[in-house]
A and B are shown apart, each in its own frame.
Chain A
Amino acid sequence: MSVRRLSPNQPDSFAFTPEQEALAQWWIAKFPAGRQQSAVLPLLWLVQKQQGWVSEPALRVVAEKLGMPVIRVYEVATFYTMFMLEPVGSKALVQVCGTTPCMLRGAGDLISVCQRKFGNRDHLSADGQFYWQEVECLGACSNAPMAAINDYYYEDLTAESFEAILDDFAAGKSPAPGSAIKRQGAAPEGGPLVLTDPKLYDGSAAKPIKSLPNAPPKGKAAKEPAA
């Protein structure tokens, strides 16, 4: 991690689109009166959804909307590394997992691909289309190595399949997310190895249950005590 700073290049202003504004109000309404600032994280996330990153004018807009000091919003935005504080690529934000399981399964190769194609990490690529960074564990260890590109996970990557996916993004396509080797979920490669007996799934093993363990005694069913 490095010191997180606001980008030197900032737009002049920020305003939520009507759809995002409606979502923002929906979030704000979730919190009791006087606690609106609890919505700071969702609102910053909406900003990031709309802009691709969180700009300085947006911090002020969020602060004003929630009636909180802008320094508090600034603190939150710089604390959470998921908030991008500078513009990201117009085509994709590539987040390669570099934590141990991915590293052991070849995250280094993916990182070299990014390095070769886009230049240094945490910077916009020369054409402004891509921005890549190495991130900590994204929780898809069984399908390592993996990368999160924009909103989706791309798993079981190799240098070749990763590069192909990136090329698709560069060409303006949206490659299908998930396992690059068509693995089912997080199941073992080549399909499940256990619990394969079809009887498990046709209901034949099930027995009727007389009463649920915690069911209330019959007769006095589910009558809430008067509040």
Chain B
Amino acid sequence: MPKAKVNGVEVEFEPGMTVLQVAELAGEEIPRFCYHERLSIAGNCRMCLVEVKPGPPKPQASCALPAADNQEIFTNTPMVKKAREGVMEFLLINHPLDCPICDQGGECDLQDQAMGYGRDDSRYADNKRAVEEKSMGPLIKTVMTRCIQCTRCVRFITEVAGVPDIGLISRGEDVEITTYLGKAVASELSANVIDLCPVGALTSKPYAFNARPWELKKTESVDVMDALGSAIRVDSRGPAVLRVLPRLNEEINEEWISDKTRYAVDGLSRQRLDRPYVRENGKLRPATWAEALSLVADKLKAAPADRIGVIAGDQQDVESMKAAKDLFGSLGVTNLDCRQDGMALGAGPRESWLFNSTIAGIENADVILLVGTNPRLEAPVLNARLRKRWMAGALKVGVIGEQPDLTYGYEYLGAGPASLTGLSKSKGDFLKALKDAKAPAIILGSGALARADGAAVAKAAAAVAKTYKMTWNVLHSAAARVGGLDLGFIPGEGGKTAAEMVKPGALDVLFLLGADEIGLTGSDAFTVYLGTHGDAGAHRADVILPGAAYTEKDGLYVNTEGRVQLGQRAVFPKGEGREDWSILRALSDKLGKTLPYDTLAQLRAKLFADHPTFGQIDYVAGPVDFDLSAVGGEGAVSDQAFESPIKAFHLTNPIARASVTMAECAAQASGAAKIAAE
């Protein structure tokens, strides 16, 4: 490996690295604004100047300079310091001194680096340039006078998000970052430009003037808006979650999160169930915990076990599902289901419902077949990963199902199951690429599996996967799904599925564990809703038990890869709300079937003992060989086209539906869709 000296310290580096990267290897921090390791190199801020030998006797932009063998790099010479000070002075010529009223204050790259390289006063007496504000949609607030033209936002939206909506117009002193005539940025990842912006030019609109970063309590947690389990940091002050930011996790989300992950959190303080309610004469009235729990216990005692059903929602933590399974199991209830959409997976090997390639591992695939899924809406961060892989070249993507704009090119193979079963006879480049592929992968979405013939579709897909040695991947859209399936939260012997449970006359008591995505109009059972929001489930409920949302409890979540992750409590549940498992524990007392755990730690100990997979936090097995012929079930496939379950990206769960920001985004998105259709 080539070697270079950084300030006299010799380091080895990979060929092709830039001087900046080599200096970082040696532990030298290089100031920068435009350079970002996940974006293309622009080299336009000039803050990363260093001195190199051999080389011209002038400072060099280290981000854009390839390192050479035996190069000597100096990052702390007087020339370097003077050069950087000069750059900083130029940047500050037109940058307003409005830090006290700027939302970036306290987490601003320019502010921080001005501490190191700024002068105490300006030598420029002229007026500063003023730039008009731009409209970028409901999420991104612009104060364009603060912009230093690093173009990170342009590069992110073009390269990573693949929705080229932001550009740099005009030239010279007059350049401006803008969207085309004030159009809203139409990417599901748009708000990441706020994190990328090194100054306060692009800031968060919903969070504007809410708080200063140093006032916030920062809790590292896991996202539940989709099934990826992106690493997030929940920033809270007192009882309120003020914002969610991404955390670095190379295995899952790199450093991006979707707009829903980031901005649905204002839904955590709206439409909340903050105390127990009991329905009396058709109307819900506030009740005490004792009253509500006794009523539920009475109803459960009165009902025969086969007339009781439990449906777990899409954002449940594993612990509450475990407590529910233990409690209702002890009552002899077999009507358990965590698949509100009726996804035909759950029996058979664990791998059959996992994303076996792993999210990072999908970058090794060379042919990918998407069946009944629109990853752009179901998992935007994964879609960015697929785009990254596509941009790297030599990737063939085939799509069976809808034909959305995925931000990368694909070959459309057909709409329904017939295209899947007939793949081997299809004409086109995809089949040829598939036959020659070294690492092909199939990704099935709930659009393919959550339908009447889902089991047969799964079988057909498994046959295709087996024929072409494709890695089997299921892309879930519900954060709780894999956890529920791992737990066996599915109908036991003779048990009813979720769809059967909500049929008229099917049950006496229906217990909804945060389940809001299932139609309850037909159900005439006594309905108990344990959850957080006044959404579909609560509207139909006879008793409401207020639970804790994902930011309000410690909990385990299993993402679509089968990776168990620990979510942490940032704030306390609202009002009289309690953590879900403890409500079930209290209910078990009333039923005389006391659950054998008093603390979350004991519950987890039992969980790990009963289901060892949950004990391996943040572990993922990766692709393993398993018997694909065991996947799916018998039956005929219909010729109905696959449809992605997500129609409105911003409104897929109770928290998002309660969020004002998400409602604005949804209105914007549907309006944009209407305009595009015209």
The interface of chain A, by Cβ under 8 A from chain B, is: 1-4, 6, 56, 69-72, 74-75, 78-79, 81
A79, B170: Cβ atoms closer than 8 Å: yes
**Min CB gap A94→B, angstroms:** 23
Interface residue ranges of B173-228 to A (CB < 8 Å): 173-174, 176, 179-181
The answer to whether A3 and B170 touch (CB under 8 A), given A71-B179, A71-B180, A74-B180, is yes
Q: How many A-B residue pairs have CB under 8 A?
A: 38
Distance of A56 Cα from B171 Cα, bound (Å)? 19
B174, A75: Cβ atoms closer than 8 Å: no
List of B residues within 8 angstroms of A6 by Cβ: 181
The answer to whether A78 and B169 touch (CB under 8 A), given A1-B174, A72-B164, is yes
Distance of A75 Cα from B171 Cα, bound (Å)? 9
A74, B164: Cβ atoms closer than 8 Å: no
Distance of A180 Cα from B409 Cα, bound (Å)? 59
Distance of A4 Cα from B170 Cα, bound (Å)? 6
A56, B181: Cβ atoms closer than 8 Å: yes
Distance of A4 Cα from B181 Cα, bound (Å)? 13
Distance of A3 Cα from B179 Cα, bound (Å)? 16
B164, A79: Cβ atoms closer than 8 Å: no
List of B residues within 8 angstroms of A70 by Cβ: 180
Asked whether B4 is an interface residue with its Cβ less than 8 Å from the other chain, the reply is no
Q: Which residue of A lies closest to B168 (CB)?
A: A75
List of A residues within 8 angstroms of B173 by Cβ: 1
A71, B165: Cβ atoms closer than 8 Å: yes
Distance of A214 Cα from B179 Cα, bound (Å)? 56
B170, A78: Cβ atoms closer than 8 Å: yes
Distance of A81 Cα from B174 Cα, bound (Å)? 12
Distance of A3 Cα from B174 Cα, bound (Å)? 5
Q: Report whether over half of chain B's contact residues are helix, strand or loop; otherwise say mixed.
A: mixed
Which one of B165, B169, B172, B181 lies within 8 Å of A75 (CB-CB)? B169
The interface of chain B, by Cβ under 8 A from chain A, is: 164-174, 176, 179-181
Q: Which residue of B lies closest to A80 (CB)?
A: B171
Interface CB pairs A-B, < 8 A, 13? A1-B172, A3-B170, A6-B181, A69-B164, A69-B167, A70-B180, A71-B166, A72-B167, A74-B167, A75-B167, A75-B168, A75-B169, A79-B171
List of A residues within 8 angstroms of B179 by Cβ: 71
List of A residues within 8 angstroms of B168 by Cβ: 75
**Min CB gap B563→A, angstroms:** 36
The answer to whether A71 and B167 touch (CB under 8 A), given A6-B181, A56-B181, is yes
List of A residues within 8 angstroms of B170 by Cβ: 3-4, 78-79
List of B residues within 8 angstroms of A81 by Cβ: 171
List of A residues within 8 angstroms of B180 by Cβ: 70-71, 74
Distance of A69 Cα from B405 Cα, bound (Å)? 14
List of B residues within 8 angstroms of A69 by Cβ: 164-165, 167
The answer to whether A2 and B174 touch (CB under 8 A), given A69-B164, A71-B165, A71-B166, is yes
List of B residues within 8 angstroms of A3 by Cβ: 170, 174, 176
